[in-house]
Structure 1
């Protein structure tokens, strides 16, 4: 991966990619600006139509309530998905740390076994990991305690 990055830097491919990305960002921002202006004009048209049909105050209150309801729905959905993402990130972090610890242990095992007291040094983390697993299992709350 590092070789690929260095090769990209050496050939100028990275600079070209950054320029393409910059052009894309500018194009998307201009498109978003025009879309926002279009939405404002559509909102003005809906306000005029609703004010002719229902009255000025009623139209303004109704449109304001619609926007508040949409904002509350967006907020509720965001809160729910943020919690789910945070839980998934924590689980992934735990898996990554476990994998890194196992890889480090496997990589260090030959060097530790060559030394005189290597087995004791190798057994200590295994015993500690086992004790931690037992602790985690025993510290979980019992779901039957809720009744």
Structure 2
């Protein structure tokens, strides 16, 4: 859908595209209202049918209990699913940052290599830092054993 919108913007047909989207949204709202009314009438029919077997007070209590349980289940599902997208967003953000960093590093690699060829002394500092880091990790691993 975003690609269709971009294509419409580039070709100048965005007004027609938005008019169609608005028209579709209106019809979906109308269908949603009709669906909700249908569900309400089905519940009313179920209530009337159960009332003939149990009586009006007991039927009202049963329906209230069932809808209370459904509300609690929906609440618990909403609470349990609320934390998942944050983790997924953070994970997605980390992957995007890593991807951007990789692309940046690869696009700057030729310039860095040219600089390294001209000034060989610049290679010594990162190599020494990596050597000290490896030595530090080896000492801590040996000490932890």
> Does the alignment reach a TM-score above 0.5?
yes
Give structure 1 stretches of 5+ with no counterpart.
132-147
Tell me how far apart the structure 1 counterparts of residues 67 and 120 of structure 2 sit (CA, whole Å): 68
Deviations 1:69-105 (A, max 9, x none): 1222222233333333332222221111111111111
Q: What is residue 44 of structure 1 aligned with on the other side?
A: 44
1:1-147 pair list within 5 angstroms: 5=6, 8-115=8-115, 120=122
Query: Alpha carbons of 1:18 and 1:53: their partners in 2 closer, same or farther (altered >3 Å)?
Result: same
What per-residue deviation string (whole Å, max 9, x for no partner) do you get for residues 49-69 of structure 1? Answer: 222221111111111111111
CA-CA distance at 1:118 after TM superposition: 9.0
1:25 CA drift (Å): 0.6
Q: Distance between the aligned counterparts of 2:120 and 2:102, measured in 1?
A: 17
How far did 1:9 drift? 2.3
TM-score using structure 2 length? 0.68
CA contact (8 A) 1:50 1:59 kept: yes
Displacement, 1:119?
7.9
Aligned length: 126
Measured after TM superposition, the shift of residue 18 of structure 1 is 1.3
Q: Which runs of 5+ in 2 are unaligned?
A: 134-145
Q: For the pair shown, which has the larger CA radius of gyration, 1 or 2?
A: 2
Q: CA 1:9–1:45 in 2, change beyond 3 Å: closer, same or farther?
A: same
8 Å CA contact 1:113–1:119 kept in 2: the answer is: no
For 2:66 and 2:9, how far apart are their aligned partners in 1?
51
User: Helix, strand or coil for the counterpart of 2:40?
Assistant: helix
The alignment's C-alpha RMSD in Å is: 3.3
